Structure 1
């Protein structure tokens, strides 16, 4: 039984998702076999007949799938309708612009296919369409947007395959593969995937789920991109109050091992994710951001940094680079200065092949197409497909401490580079050296790459033995820090008890009286004072003769002692003593007099 087989689903405006299932109509033989140019057949629109519009819309969708497009954009202009597709990171026109009179019929047909209100043209709407093409289900996510010349429509194509993407096929670098697999093998924790929109985040999350064998899986999405096997999938419905937090709360009693949350959007969702991690789940989620440090900073504003540091296991930051077409690519010889700026050695240059894309202009594309010489793989774009570049950050004990303390982003970046993480720039350069992409594409995605390379020196990869020793040292430092904290609490409690014990005793040895004794050259009888200590220092002070010698050492030395005038100020006394002092309150404050007494002892900073 198909869960999306209801053709009578009611439309809901204001960006409400609508599901409709439909079987594609067979395209005409002229379209399938290419007996006539497509432009000739698409420009015929009888005024009273609507059937050609139905066939035209189906053609647009079918062509988008055949060209492996991720999106189809229908953009109304002053006197035409432009149809473009995004194909492997490239933009190109699907065919020649359509006449102006086709704008409204095509837009209304697409909206009717997903059950949207065709009378609403001034508000955004979105719907979901599920079609069957060549026996495989395909999802079309249709978004409408009011514009000056009419409604613009974006159709996102998602093929629903029964198999999840393979991590080994998706990522070529073995070090990156092993780092991600190590994170996936954890029983609990938070794994975060970051990057801009359309950077392959959803594909990476699905590939991580494919590595989870014999575990209970669940996902929370908005909306569900495609149905996945062996997984309980839930869709967020904000209009009905079914938020990410509510969905995560409902999974607490479902004995779920791994939870996929497609995106963290606000404070409530972030806190709910951390609560799920505390319950023992492994949570995979994403957050749009520049890098891992930016993601940590954003999450630290939503949740407590200490809680984030305790639950965060790792961050995967990624980008997509266009893959140079292997059929028509051209050999490129970079300049020596360019290699030096990229910190590439001559040996790397000699052992690698640099390529550039054979990108053609629109005029040349038309000429080569007419002559039958146009590259069939990239259609003159020079690029075909995309390759992912990654940096995997595993949260070490040192990073946990910095995150819990709310360290500055620059300090976090220094600590991350110090532990030997392979950066996005280095991974991208490896793809350039491997001939997967070009230097032009590298600088398009990373325009500040030269600045980053000059500012940050490359960090050598640490050996496994050294990494183990470093991890053991971090654990030892953590144990010492814990013991030091407990000792501090114990000493604080002991000092508090001693202060309460001596509070009721005679204040004969108060700081004020000790000061008067020193000024008046008075003798202090220490025989009545019990010093609880076994150190030699206190034993020496218990001897009256040695105490006298000590008193002479700490007494300010001056050639002669002159009587202090009655109107001596605090500044005069400070100048005369010539040592650090601190102010002590006087008991005469109760009588309304403010008087300050200077203690001739060096002030000591509290070590705690």
Structure 2
């Protein structure tokens, strides 16, 4: 008899494409889990690899050749909970608890592991929520108490998705557990609080920023997930069109001046700044950042965390940085007049300054600085370029399909008159287990890149508004965010509906 390999599932990083190859109902019924796929072969971890009924059913359901491997029931339960949610046993156990007192002081938390057979159900629940969110690629976890129950939602690809609902009586110990982990005051429930948790999941360092807010049904908790192991992107991976990438690369080659990245919260501005720093970093340059918070740690770059309690805000930190002989400065966000003025003066005195602003479009960044109190001639002489961007969801590669829009569909109207009658096809996601049946998986950016030249400087000195500057830039050939998004939709990267959603106010 051939000896079957033993698989430690919990140490593997299993893709959703592989998991989606086997119906979830069969995974639960037969106590199996797919962990690898090669061609027409699906590799299946099983507690009982000799369960021929299971092997036959899965072969029939998938059309793939099943190659079994041995695993333990504990390993299997761990990955099922990690990838497919909480077990019925866990939810049932949580339902048994009636008071906070019999749970609160039993808590212990080992940051290097998330599951243990001796953990109480509340500890398992908190750990499971965090682990599942990280595995699914969520950026935020929302734990929301309501009259009918506690809703747990994950923000995935920019939009909130409801994951499950827990009973109301679980909320006090659940909230206390998270606050205890985040070193918050568990007795204080009337005031908003902030805290931080650092953990490891599968060897990955993850930083969690916890925020509590009192509501009429209890404390709402939001956990921002910052995956420290996430690889830094190259600027070529940010979704720039070929033309825009050349312009952005040209801006980064300037020895001094200010480059701004604009957009609303959650539009990928920090990711773009980090990719730019990754491009600029060499041993010959002294790069210093001031951030709130420091989201990802760079090797060989000096990063400063804003600390109001210690008297370090953006303006004071920036002044100190200028005494540190910097070549390149990154300011996480220009929030006030003082920071704006210092950053602009740094850009005009031989430093390359990168920062972010909240504006609707690229031209709006120029007038925003003036509105903040910076002299227009200083803005004109310091800002060399602006990237405005939004994030759109990408069509799921596992369930993408072609379709022809109806004659009076919003897609045709949004694309413009030339598409009103023209027969053409677009791409959309039908929805599958890999994308949680949304039709989308992952995100990319749509951008517009404005290079500030003599015409834009003249407009600024003449006190022109943002609309005038934007229109002139488009006439010169600037690709707007909407145009960039529609081009990506026609290529099947995203959908017209997504572009409509994020550019409707432009």
Q: Quick one: which of 60, 80, 86 aligns to 1:34?
A: 80
CA displacement 1:182-228 (0-9 Å, x = unmatched) = 11111111101111111111111111111103122111011111211
SS in 2 for 1:92: strand
**Do structure 1's residue 357 and structure 2's residue 403 form an aligned pair?**
no
Q: Quick one: which of 320, 337, 341 aligns to 1:267?
A: 337
Partner of 1:79: 148
**Do structure 1's residue 224 and structure 2's residue 294 form an aligned pair?**
yes
SS in 1 for 2:280: coil
Q: How much has 1:448 moved relative to structure 2?
A: 5.8
Give the unaligned 5+ runs of structure 1: 1-26, 360-374, 450-608
Paired with 1:339 and 1:175, the residues of 2 have a C-alpha distance of: 26
Partner of 2:396: 325
CA displacement 1:59-94 (0-9 Å, x = unmatched) = 111111111111111000113111110111232222
Paired with 1:162 and 1:379, the residues of 2 have a C-alpha distance of: 22
Q: Is the 8 A contact 1:162 1:228 kept in 2?
A: no
Alignment of 1:234-249 (within 5 A): 234-249=304-319
Q: Is the 8 A contact 2:412 2:420 kept in 1?
A: no
SS in 2 for 1:313: strand
Aligned-residue RMSD, C-alpha: 2.4
- TM-score, normalization by structure 2: 0.76
**Do structure 1's residue 308 and structure 2's residue 379 form an aligned pair?**
yes
Alignment of 1:282-431 (within 5 A): 282-302=352-372, 303-335=374-406, 339=412, 342-343=415-416, 345=418, 353-359=425-431, 375-431=432-488
Q: Is the 8 A contact 2:151 2:162 kept in 1?
A: yes
Paired with 1:256 and 1:163, the residues of 2 have a C-alpha distance of: 25
Paired with 2:250 and 2:321, the residues of 1 have a C-alpha distance of: 25
Choose between structure 1 and 2 for higher RCO, CA contacts under 8 A separated by at least 6 residues.
2
Q: Measured at CA, do residues 347 and 444 of structure 1 come closer, stay the same or move farther in structure 2, by a change above 3 Å?
A: closer
Paired with 1:349 and 1:43, the residues of 2 have a C-alpha distance of: 56
**Do structure 1's residue 70 and structure 2's residue 70 form an aligned pair?**
no
Q: Measured at CA, do residues 348 and 270 of structure 1 come closer, stay the same or move farther in structure 2, by a change above 3 Å?
A: farther
Q: Quick one: which of 158, 165, 182 aligns to 2:226?
A: 158
Q: How much has 1:306 moved relative to structure 2?
A: 0.9
Q: How much has 1:269 moved relative to structure 2?
A: 0.9
Q: Could you say which structure has the higher helix fraction?
A: 1
Alignment of 1:494-513 (within 5 A): none
Partner of 1:435: 492
* Structure with bigger gyration radius: 1
CA displacement 1:329-377 (0-9 Å, x = unmatched) = 3322124566476237579977x74023325xxxxxxxxxxxxxxx231
Q: Could you say which structure has the higher strand fraction?
A: 2
Q: Measured at CA, do residues 182 and 80 of structure 1 come closer, stay the same or move farther in structure 2, by a change above 3 Å?
A: same
Q: Measured at CA, do residues 419 and 335 of structure 1 come closer, stay the same or move farther in structure 2, by a change above 3 Å?
A: same
Partner of 2:200: 132
Q: Is the 8 A contact 2:357 2:365 kept in 1?
A: yes
Q: Quick one: which of 106, 112, 132 aligns to 2:174?
A: 106
SS in 2 for 1:437: coil
Paired with 1:164 and 1:355, the residues of 2 have a C-alpha distance of: 29
Q: Is the 8 A contact 2:362 2:448 kept in 1?
A: no
Q: Is the 8 A contact 1:389 1:424 kept in 2?
A: yes
Paired with 2:444 and 2:276, the residues of 1 have a C-alpha distance of: 17
Partner of 2:320: 250
Paired with 1:417 and 1:162, the residues of 2 have a C-alpha distance of: 36
